[in-house]
Amino acid sequence: MKLFDKVRQQKLLSTTLLLITLSVGILIGTLVNTGVKAARDQQTAPDATPLVIPHAQEVGNEFTKLARKLDPSVVNITADYTPKADQSAHGRRRNPDQDDDQSEEGQDLFRRFFGNRGQQGQGQGQGDVPPQIFKREQSGTGFIVDKAGYIVTNHHVVSDGQGNPVDHIFVKMHGDSTDYRAHVIGSDVETDIAVLKVDTKHGLTPVMIGNSDAVQVGDWAVAIGSPFGLEATVTAGIISATGRGNIGQGQFQKFIQTDAAINPGNSGGPLLNIRGEVIGVNTMIATNNGGSQGVGFALPVNMVVRVYNDIIRDGRVTRGSIGVTWPKDPKADTLIKAMGFNHGVIVGEVKPEGPAGKAGMKVDDIILGINGHTVKDGDDLIERIADTPVGTQVTLNCDRDGKTMDFKLIVADRAQIWADRVGAPRPAPEAPSKPEPTSTQVKFGIYPRAVSEEERDLTPEKRGVTVTRVEPGSFAEEIGMQERDIIIAINRTPVSSVDDIRKIQSTLKPGDPVAFRIVRTPPVAAGSRRATSAQQPVTRFLSGTLPEE
């Protein structure tokens, strides 16, 4: 028995030694093979040392802090509209003050800008066939100024090429995939500022407003926006100049100039100082190629604040006017001195029905003061009169042919006096108007009817409801539904009748996601009753989130 145990122990010992030997051999073979492989892999550059990626360590600076701080406050804005039939392919509107012989080439050097991501307007009609009109899309930037959802942007971002309101406006926050519907509270064409409102279910982070009067040439400047649709793009530069006038079409625009890169899509975004305070709204660029060339212009935030406060109070900006104009002469100072004065404005036009005309003022009168206070030049005059409340009586101190004269008049509304030039006030509705619903119209914005036998044969389950009309501006239009689409299911619930749609609609509420399964029927050529084999029906999904009421 002892002999048997001894033999068994020796056998176990031998097996253990054999396993250890094999393990050591495998380990040595692996090490040798690895070394050979490494040497073989580095035969191209045997004397080179492989690079090593160090541990990630953030290198923070003031720009990093600023970008992180402003990230939730700057938004991307997209808008769309369908041009009117009589609107030009380029959507360009002529400046009413432009001389007949003035070239547009120089005007294009200074351009307002936004990214245009849609169809390029109208197709070309042939003969008596009207041109096909496509929906246009454009994008820009804005920034949140109130946690209740108020946003500042440029007027041209939310208007078409002729200054009319767009059909739809969507706002997207950085890091949030939701497209929030926005509506215009009011806008001011003369400063190119608009105020929007969005309703969200969560709190928003407003920007910090700075004081643009403190801006100096050489200060750091940071622009944040969505150039070419690239959200939350941050660029930096310096303040190149302040008080740049005679650039835009508005008399009230005195721009801050910066070399921070600004491109199409930045329009309406904030220009910030190094503390992250908004000092301007990016509005224009000077360019020969359509992109940034280091010359951008932002409307000072102090002017923006004044416009914003008027809009949230009255829905529009009210400015005073006395009904006079004067020529923009680069040698105005020399002309005034030749008249024997070192300040003042020479009247070039008097509106007969305006306050100055009614008070007896004439062309070539020289306005020297208002209520005894000196008027420096034309810019000084228009700013002071514009800021004077409508209905206020003022006294203009003037000179006529060497004789001092005072004219008492009542300041009027600029938009009414110069309606042919600045446009009559046009308050924007808070929500688009909708027609009265008919017995076949449902919440989605469609007019459905029962399918015909021929249409039923086009569907895989031989059922459905045909869309006869899609309401402009409706939820159905937003998700891409078209006339002649056949709805066969909503949220995976089969649809066989108009009543089925109503029942499903009654279970939904604003903010709910909705998915339509449809059959899109191809267009049928004139004289043909059926689609060709190359134009077969296509089954697809259309989905979206029901807008908040």
Catalytic machinery residues: 156, 192, 267
What residue spans of 80-146 are helical by DSSP H? Answer: 104-109
What H or E segment, with its residue span, contains residue 24?
helix 2-41
Query: What are the Cα distances from residue 41, in Å, to 28, 34, 37, 98?
Result: 20, 10, 6, 72
Query: Do residues 302 and 281 touch, judged by C-beta distance below 8 A?
Result: no
What H or E segment, with its residue span, contains residue 389?
none
Q: Let me know how long the chain is.
A: 549
Dihedral sign of CA atoms 106, 98, 245, 333 in order: positive
The residue behind tokens 């008097």 is 350
Largest CA distance in the chain: 145
Q: Alpha-carbon distance 435 to 98, whole Å?
A: 40
Phi first, then psi, for residue 47 (nearest 5°) are -95, 5
What H or E segment, with its residue span, contains residue 255?
strand 255-258
Query: What are the Cα distances from residue 377, in Å, to 245, 248, 357, 401?
Result: 14, 19, 20, 19
Of 197, 184, 187, the closest CA to residue 75 belongs to 197
Strand partners, 198: 182
In 3-state terms, what secondary structure has residue 235? strand
C-alpha torsion angle, residues 518, 522, 526, 529 (rounded to 10):
-70
In 3-state terms, what secondary structure has residue 301? helix
C-alpha torsion angle, residues 225, 304, 183, 266 (rounded to 10):
-20
Query: Do residues 384 and 411 touch, judged by C-beta distance below 8 A?
Result: no
Query: Do residues 503 and 517 touch, judged by C-beta distance below 8 A?
Result: no
Query: What are the Cα distances from residue 461, in Å, to 359, 395, 464, 487?
Result: 80, 81, 8, 11
Q: Alpha-carbon distance 323 to 411, whole Å?
A: 9
Query: What are the Cα distances from residue 196, in Å, to 24, 169, 301, 430?
Result: 75, 9, 17, 10
The residue behind tokens 């420096």 is 376
Name the burial class of residue 120, with classes exposed (0-12), middle (13-18) and buried (19+) by CB atoms within 10 angstroms of its CB: exposed
Which tokens go with 151? 């946003």
